[in-house]
Amino acid sequence: MKTEIETLVARRKGFFTLASDSREYMQSILPTEELMEELQRRHIDIFTFLERKWCCPATEPSRIWVRGEDNIAILNLKTYDEWWKNIGKKTRNMIRKSEKSGIKTRLVEPSDKLAEGMWKIFNETPIRQDRGFPHYGISLKDVEKGLQSAKNCTYIGAYLDDELIGFVQLVQGEKIIVISQILSMQQHRDKAVNNSLIAKAIAAITDLHEEWIMYGRMGNHPSLDNFKLSNGFNKLTLTRYYVPLTSKGKIAIRLGLHRELKDVFPQAMKKPLFPVYNWISRTKMRIRLLAR
């Protein structure tokens, strides 16, 4: 109970508050009566959680749980050789290109040196993939704190002449490993650094004998979705449950306000809106930089 509350994330959405567990991808969550009562005491109106159907399907969902839809990008991994055969010639060539460019990838322990290298990558550019980059401007101290507080994490670094130019963070969960972050310097994007990092991550995960790898969601970033697909990840549709805890929560669900705005629009309607969203994101970042 204490652990569940410690990892709770609550967000105010208009007139109601929605909460979830930050570990919902890495650990199966079933809301107990005790937890629901505690959430009500904390003035939470709706609690939401995922059904991790790749490993732990919900056999007897409660009638008061309101069903919704979510998704993840997932890879069912058997062996490195099988993954290598399935990713396609173009992606294999990108990985070979990275190696020929002098990129070396290796497992790396958290340290001040790693934190400094990550900090430089975070602050290389305020715009990534045509959108404002939310981590731009982060302090070295905050990066160090993040490394120190991270649990069950493995880090892989990509190096060029012993300089960190990219990294990936893997988080170990129950019957899943999550690619929490993968990032590389824009000035070296011609060297396919991220492809090399994915390949090393796959090799490291096979050594751990894990079958399932998650890499975020699908459907809200076309170029990133294509990168995931080219590296063997596929979209897995999941059931997301919403538990109304108060009358405000029940009203919000009836009005459909519990869903994320980005998930309300069908994919066909999203496509023409992506350039608009990207422009808004870049504009917000430029305003933020001017306000400094």
DSSP 214-254: E---SSS-HHHHHHHHHTT-EEEEEEEEEEE-SHHHHHHHH
> What is this structure's pTM?
0.90
Percent of the chain with pLDDT over 90: 81
Distance (Å) of CA 159 to CA 101, 104, 247 = 11, 5, 54
Cα angle for residues 138, 190, 233 (degrees, 5° grid): 75
Mean pLDDT of the chain: 93
Distance between CA atoms of residues 279 and 288, nearest Å? 14
123: helix, coil or strand?
coil
Render pLDDT for 102-159 as a digit per residue (tens, 0 to 9). 999 999 999 999 999 999 999 999 999 999 999 999 999 999 999 999 989 999 999 9
Render pLDDT for 54-76 as a digit per residue (tens, 0 to 9). 999 988 889 899 999 999 999 99
Q: Please, which pLDDT band fits residue 244 given cuts at 50, 70 and 90? A: very high
177: helix, coil or strand?
strand
pLDDT of 252? 96
DSSP 8-class letter at 59: S
Question: What residues does each domain of the chain span?
Answer: 2-73+238-290, 77-234
Q: Which CATH architecture has domain 77-234?
A: 3-Layer(aba) Sandwich (3.40)
pLDDT of 125? 96
Residue with more model confidence, 286 or 269:
286
pLDDT of 292? 80
